[in-house]
Amino acid sequence: MEYYIYMLVSLAVMLMGIKLVFCELEGRTAQKKGFLSWYIKYNEPFKYARTRSIILMCVVCYMIASIQPFFSVEWFVEMIGFIAVGVICDALSQVVGYYYSKLRFRKRIKAAMEMKSEIAKAINEEGSALVQQSIPTYSSKEVVTKYLNDDSHLAFVSFDGGEYVNSFENLPPITYAVEVQNEKAEKLLEERNIKVTKLTKEGKLPFKDERIDVLADELANYDKYDLYRVVKPGGYIIVNQLGSDNYKELTSIFLPFKLRGRWDLEAGKQTLSEIGLEIIDGFEEHGFIRFDTLASFIQFLKGITRVDVTQERFVNFYSQVLQQIKEKSYFELTTHRFLVVARKKEL
């Protein structure tokens, strides 16, 4: 009986001690890594909701520590008592841990609630998204224009509803716009002499072989073999792409897809040269976008991702952004893009 009482006391002390240690460690980790949600939960009523896991733990511990014959009456009776004490002590340890943390980190909890209110206000604000951007080192529009003449058969591939194509003032009489947002592009370009089309059902460019003199891909996915197919011998393929460092601060948080490996100017050149294209020119740019308010940053996010950026799960990230704005007067995102000009060799 003395051994059984020793087991019960050890269980109670272990549960209480471990809980207090974890409260301290979690609080310090939350401060170090900016886990605002950890502090916010202590402004909510206490909830106990892990009965099943503690019962399982007690059963395993009892089976290891018990000295009673397995499956005897005494064994079952003591196991039930052990589980009951475990559940009660676990509940008490969580209550003690809850109020310990609430008292121990009361200032940080108060600060977290104030920051949460700031974040909620910023989410509902309407503001100018772009605050400050680094000066571009190259213009894809100027590069494309350099390779055009009135006799060119020109094709654009883009996904911005025709905005990029519409930025050109003078285009050859035979110009195509292959657009993902087909209907939007048709409305925008209806008064211009531009044929708006889209990819085929198979995802291919809607042109016969070797019909295009200049093909300009503006930040859109492409099939390099399909580009090669539609361009005439001696024709040009101009690809402007986002690099793997673009918005790297948001990768895995708001942008669900991440490029595998390194995607930059050298990789772009290699991709096109390995199918027999001659590399004529290349440009690469690492820049930044800076936001001086959380509201402007969130407005920017709404324009680049389909994820609901108002969800509670992003509160930790927003708190880090807000903290940086308070410390530096801005939050910065990295931008990365590159452009490759390639020529299809004449036979």
For 53-89, how does the pLDDT look when each residue is reduced to its tens digit (9 = 90+)? 888 988 988 888 888 888 888 888 889 998 999 899 9
Q: Which residues contact 302 (CB under 8 A, 6 or more apart)?
A: 309
Give per-residue pLDDT as tens, 206-226.
Answer: 999 999 999 999 999 899 999
Q: What is the pLDDT of residue 346?
A: 85
* Cα–Cα dist 152/139, whole Å: 20
Q: What is the pLDDT of residue 232?
A: 96
Q: Where are the domains of the chain?
A: 2-111, 132-344
Mean pLDDT of 310-325: 91
Assess whether pLDDT exceeds 60 at residue 258: no
Assess whether pLDDT exceeds 60 at residue 256: no
Closest CA to 192 of 211, 215, 169: 169
Q: Which two tokens stand for residue 290?
A: 């800076």
Assess whether pLDDT exceeds 70 at residue 331: yes
Q: Which CATH superfamily groups domain 132-344?
A: Vaccinia Virus protein VP39 (3.40.50.150)
Q: Which two tokens stand for residue 59?
A: 């059963």
Q: What is the pLDDT of residue 130?
A: 63
Q: What is the pLDDT of residue 285?
A: 97
Q: Which residues are bridge partners to 195 per DSSP?
A: 176
Q: What is the pLDDT of residue 128?
A: 60
Claim: this prediction has a pTM higher than 0.85: no
- Tell me if residue 238 falls in helix, strand or coil: strand
**Strand order through the sheet with 277-291:** 132-133, 277-291, 331-344, 231-242, 212-218, 153-158, 174-179, 195-197
Q: Which helix (H) or strand (E) holds 279?
A: strand 277-291
Confidence of residue 137 (pLDDT cuts 50, 70, 90): very high
Q: What is the pLDDT of residue 260?
A: 59
Assess whether pLDDT exceeds 80 at residue 129: no
Q: Which helix (H) or strand (E) holds 336?
A: strand 331-344
Closest CA to 199 of 185, 180, 186, 217: 180
Q: For residues 271 and 265, is the Cβ–Cβ distance under 8 A?
A: no
Q: Work out the mean pLDDT of the chain and round it to a whole number.
A: 90
For residues 45 and 168, which has the higher predicted lDDT (pLDDT)?
168
* Cα–Cα dist 244/209, whole Å: 32
